[in-house]
Amino acid sequence: MWVAIAIGIPFSLIMVAGDPILQFFGQDPALARGAGVYLSAFLWGLTPALLLVVLRCFVSAVGRAAPVVWVMLMGVILNIILDYALIFGKLGLPRLELFGAGLASAIVNTAMFLGLLGISVGAYPFRRYAMLGRFWRPDWARFGQIMRLGTPIGATLLLEVGLFSASTLLMGLIGTTELAGHAIALQLAAVTFMVPLGIGHAATVRVGQHMGAGRLLDLPRAGWAALVLSVCFMSMTATLFWLAPEFLISLFLGADAPGRAAVLALGTGYLFVAAVFQLVDGAQVVGVACLRGISDTKIPMFFAAFGYWGVGFVASYTLAFHTDLAGVGVWIGLALGLATAASLMVSRFYLLTRSNRL
């Protein structure tokens, strides 16, 4: 939790300069100003969001993930109500538009953190760990262990998230309409990604439990079961993206939205490519999760750097600005980067478990 606080505060301060930072990277000034308004409210919820991640991992590692589901479900409901009220000025609240959207997210993140903290401290079986019992007493050896394992994990996540953020920057350089279609397609892909992400968290817990108990024969089975589940689910969502792209994109667009036809056409094209990378996206997130379960975090970080940026970003930039593919080229690059990372992560897990080099 202290690590989360140490990370959250400085990054919250960076968000204060969201507008000039985005303009520095060549984004449209009007879009940058809007993002800056949103971030000026959202930044208050960043540290609670990071603390929520800590508690979510703690509860899951104990093997009782149900409280996380209930807290997140209540958070979704609260977020819908607050977004509706604060963006549009409903339910007696002022109309704050973009600032209201950021404020709603900050309030929800804080509420979810406090709710899960209450469960972690007071509910069975979590209370026996006395999470806050030594909160003010530093344990430097444990800090060091967390940083050695966690820093490469954080870098891997940053590389992955950074790739998708960079793809959004590239789309912004291409055009506003392309950016709108990209945002919708990326949101759809993010929703489906939640299932393999959850499977990956379960794989980390199960692989780690087998590792700790010395059950080396059960360990690879847990990993491969998670991989099969993830690929099967993503196969279904890929099929949905192929069969009904226009319907899915239209869910985000009003009937009289400006530029609706252009955004719909572009978003549909992006979803066709997204359907392809659904499969490798599910494989790579489970592959890296299995490696985390056996405390293998440094080599996957280098795999991520090569796959996401050495292949993915380079391909996205090249195809977008040096061919006629434009936005579609960005998505092809994303698919190539994820495929590279997936093949490297899964191959390493196979080799380590096959040779018992654990």
Is 329 part of a structural domain of the chain?
Answer: yes
pLDDT of residue 356: 62
160 and 126 in a single domain? The answer is no
pLDDT of residue 358: 59
Residue 54: count of CB within 10 angstroms of its CB: 19
**pLDDT tens digits, 12-46:** 999 999 899 988 888 788 888 999 999 999 999 99
Instruction: Find out whether the peptide bond into 48 is cis, omega within 30 degrees of 0.
Output: no
Residue pair 205/257 in contact (Cβ under 8 Å)? The answer is no
114 vs 145 pLDDT, higher one: 114
Question: Is residue 241 predicted with pLDDT exceeding 80?
Answer: yes
Is 171 part of a structural domain of the chain?
Answer: yes
252 and 186 in a single domain? The answer is yes
Is 143 part of a structural domain of the chain?
Answer: no
226 and 272 in a single domain? The answer is yes
pLDDT of residue 226: 96
Q: How many domains does the chain have?
A: 2
Domain end point (choices 78, 111, 137): 137
pLDDT of residue 196: 94
160 and 296 in a single domain? The answer is yes
206 and 252 in a single domain? The answer is yes
Distance separating alpha carbons of residues 123 and 129, to the nearest angstrom = 11
Domain end point (choices 106, 137, 168): 137
130 and 243 in a single domain? The answer is no
Q: What is the pTM of this model?
A: 0.78
276 and 196 in a single domain? The answer is yes
Distance separating alpha carbons of residues 288 and 200, to the nearest angstrom = 8
In which band, very low, low, confident or very high, does the pLDDT at 95 lie, cut at 50, 70 and 90?
A: very high
Chain-centre distance for alpha carbon 116: 20
- The tokens of 290 are what? 């299995």
In which band, very low, low, confident or very high, does the pLDDT at 214 lie, cut at 50, 70 and 90?
A: confident
Is 142 part of a structural domain of the chain?
Answer: no
Domain that holds residue 287: 148-358
37 and 185 in a single domain? The answer is no
Nearest residue to 175 via CA among 259, 272, 252:
259
pLDDT of residue 278: 87
Query: Which H/E stretch holds residue 30?
Result: helix 29-42
153 and 112 in a single domain? The answer is no
Instruction: For residues 149-153, give the mean pLDDT.
Output: 91
Residue pair 349/223 in contact (Cβ under 8 Å)? The answer is yes
